[in-house]
Amino acid sequence: MSDTTPTDPPEPGEPGEQGSAPAAPEEGTAPPVRVVVDGLPPKPPLARRALRWALFLVIAAANLAIAGGVGAYLYFSRNLPEIPNVDRYRPPIITEVVSSDGQISGEFFEERRKVVPYDRIPKRVVEAFIASEDKNFFTHGGIDLLGTLRAAVNTYVLRRKVQGGSTLTQQTAKALLISSEGFASGSRRNLARKVRELILAKRLERAFTKEQILWMYLNGVYLGHHSYGIQAAAENYYRKNVEDLTLEEAALIAGLPQAPSRFSPFSRPEAAKERRRYVLRRMSEEGFISADDRTRAADAEVKVFGVDDVFRETAPFYVEHVRRYVVDRYGNDRLLHDGLRVETAMDLEKQRNAQAAMLRGLMEVDHRQGFNGPVAHVEGDERKALLARLAKVWPPGAIAPGAYVVGVVARVDDKKGVAEVEVGESRGLLPISGMRWARKPNPEAYYPDALISRVSTAVKAGDVVLLRRVTRAELVKREGEAQAGKPKDVPEHDLLFSLEQDPTLQGALVSVDPWSGYVLAMVGGYDFEASEFNRAFQACRQPGSAFKPIVYSAAVEKLDYTPATILTDAPLVFRDEENSWKPQNYGETFKGDVTLRTALVNSMNIPAVKTAEAIASKFGMQALADWAKGVGLSTPIKLELGTALGSSCVNLWELTNVYALFARYGEKRPSTFVKRVVDRDGEVLEDHSDWRDPWVPLEARLAAGWAEVSRPRERAMDEKTAYILVRLMREVATVGTGARAAALGKPAAGKTGTTNDSFDTWFMGFTHDLATGVWLGYDINVTPLGRYETGGHAALPIWLDFTKAALDGREQPEFLPPEGIVEVKIDPETGKAVPEEARGVKEPFKLGTEPKLPAEGEQSVEVKDLFMQ
């Protein structure tokens, strides 16, 4: 056994076991007795030891938890988006493209959102969201721990369906994550994303008031069908502003955040109605609405209105061109996120007139090309199935006058001159008067002589055809025109149709205000949905005779040609080592010596080639190409005499601007699609507005007026040269190849253009305030329009239709001569001056170049003969 005798305590002043002197015992107390076993103190009781270990483990666990929590916080809070100041809360919003008078013509966005201030959001909207989404919003600290725990257990432990539990603050945090990291990352369903959301939610609660958080939430929450925020949803579903929402409308929208697709009022109206009942019940339980209000709103019909696709329905070619401009200048990211306001020069009324005129003109010319055949042919069960589908699209009574529909030919009766057609369950008549144009295509045929007289020539039973509902009066008028005023009987029926077809023909139109440079209207093709190819810009086509004014203006400027200059119209052959070229006039006739005035007004080819040859002989062919470039053409000009007849391709946009330059008497001025671009803060990024524009702010008009006064004037040609060409084109539009333009009833000038085989037809025309170009043709030159289709016959009617509507009620002044111009009456055949009382035409001349009357006693026999005619 070991010695159990206690050791003697150290002497006072000597070091103890721990190197320090023990304290002296107090007087009257016995010193503690320490029992040593094998040299060790006895163990404390087991309970005490367990308690100590438990305390140690708790402290260690707490430290580890704190360290782990800090580590987790640092880990999960990495790269969290910064909490913005309220003034700097800038979520992605819509970029709007608007017409000159402020009407929306296009929207571009990734998130269709419009931020509205909190005071614009009605109390009923706030209450609907609070009741249905987060009843304790105004009392909790941003996190509903019980709800979050329950959702986490159900989702991640029990693997039940994904369950919510997020407060409005957490949902706002989630929206910030999505904006910062993208939808896929910001909405990922995992624990890490949820922890980041919780951290961000607490930060939001510390940084903002409850009202500010609610404002961010209501402007950021996704509410289905591209709607982000309450204002976008109000527009998307009800076509109204948020402050105008009724109780039932607010309740329906407030029910969408949990599952916008499942509760969509468009695709699932009954589910939306049931969800609305839940929101209304919660509002009633929270004391926000009365029982009567709840009942009335719950019983209301779910009636929503989809947002119009303004881009495609308003002016798709115009707006798409503007979109490309904005992307090139500011980048696609700013277009989709920064909420720019792009104010265009488009006059919406004129744009609609342009689109309507193009459609009518294309259809008319397309009819003259002939019928391409039915869309399809159906029999038996296939026919029954098609009619069933058509009945859903056009139920009985749904076909309005003028509407285009698809129908099936049920029966053809040549004796009565009708075909019976079915559109779903509706049955109507297609008379011969509504389809006389439907001959087989033949570009050599003369349209009036090729009209059909039998219905069976075009259609038979089972044919699927495109139809348009018409009135009997329209058919009577059409038949009268086709039958030289002697129409056959047109049947009477409740449902009458004409035969139609989707034209393969294409067209383009550009209209510019010559003085402001505003592009008032632009059409790039028949159907943007079918082809986004913009023929006003992207198509390079031969202009034919529409190029001739450029040639003659060069001759007037460089060679001092005048309207009385004599040119030779006679057969001409050009040869080189490999080829020979023999230009022809339309009609293949020649008139000998003619005046420049006669040559241009009647669009004669040989005089134009001779004029180009004269320019090339003195200055070189490059001089004509440089002249064309100087007036505004950037497409390559061929260094050949055929250029005088439009052999070099141009685009409609640039050629229209050349004619606008003529209208300005040669002054250069840029044309613009975009007036102003304003950012979301109201800062003007660019401004091209005109001082006469009533739709721009006064400050901008004053600045534009000063810029107009102070800008340097640049000219492409002398104003007298331009005026002479304008006057000659004025006659083109009254007595020449464009004489149909006289029906406008206002002073107008212009030029027709037709290429070989009528692959391209043009009319370029202008008044004092409007310059418009029209092109018509096929995208691919396989089949010509026909030997009888010319610029004056095909393109000019579209120009006239549009210009009449665009200038309705607006007087146009006559083109006035500038200083240095004198007018002399000449014989239009010889170009010689004649007395005022003689027959002739007055033409403008630059002072000093005008023809003179013979001196007294020197009157020629030619003039005497003129008096005798």
Catalytic residues: 133, 545
Helices (H) and strands (E) in the chain, counts: 26, 24
Alpha-helix runs per DSSP H in 678-828:
698-710, 719-735, 796-806
Positions of E strands within 364-451: 376-377, 404-413, 418-423, 426-431
Bridge partners for 761 per DSSP: 754, 776
Q: Provide the token pair at 240.
A: 């109204």
DSSP secondary structure code for residue 851 in this structure: -
> Position of tokens 């702010």?
697
In sequence order, which residues have a C-beta less than 8 Å from that of residue 616 and are 6 or more positions away?
623, 624, 641
Q: What are the backbone angles phi and psi of residue 295, rounded to the nearest 5°? A: -65, -45
Neighbours of 564 (CB within 10 A): 22
Cα gap 688→516, rounded to integer Å? 9
Cα gap 277→164, rounded to integer Å? 19
Cα gap 653→1, rounded to integer Å? 119
For CA atoms 548, 551, 554, 559, the dihedral sign is negative
Q: Measure CA 359 to chain center.
A: 18
* Closest C-alpha to 525, from 516, 514, 533: 533
How do beta strands 341-344 and 95-98 pair? parallel
Positions of E strands within 73-214: 95-98, 104-108, 112-113
Task: Please answer whether residues 653 and 681 qualify as being in contact, where contact means their C-beta atoms are separated by less than 8 angstroms.
Answer: no
Nearest-10 crossing angle of helices 719-735, 548-558? 140
> Position of tokens 């709607």?
227
Task: Please answer whether residues 97 and 105 qualify as being in contact, where contact means their C-beta atoms are separated by less than 8 angstroms.
Answer: yes
DSSP secondary structure code for residue 787 in this structure: T
Question: Environment class of residue 813 by beta-carbon count within 10 Å: exposed (0-12), middle (13-18) or buried (19+)?
Answer: exposed
Nearest-10 crossing angle of helices 191-207, 145-152? 170
Task: Please answer whether residues 644 and 548 qualify as being in contact, where contact means their C-beta atoms are separated by less than 8 angstroms.
Answer: yes
Cα gap 731→738, rounded to integer Å? 9
- Report the SS3 class of residue 713: coil
Q: How far apart are the first and last CA of the chain?
A: 164
Neighbours of 242 (CB within 10 A): 24
Task: Please answer whether residues 489 and 398 qualify as being in contact, where contact means their C-beta atoms are separated by less than 8 angstroms.
Answer: no
Q: Measure CA 318 to chain center.
A: 6
Q: How many CA atoms lie within 13 A of 747 on its CB side?
A: 12
- Report the SS3 class of residue 672: strand
Positions of E strands within 673-789: 674-678, 684-687, 749-754, 760-766, 771-777
Q: Provide the token pair at 42.
A: 């006895």
Q: What are the backbone angles phi and psi of residue 109, rounded to the nearest 5°? A: -170, 160
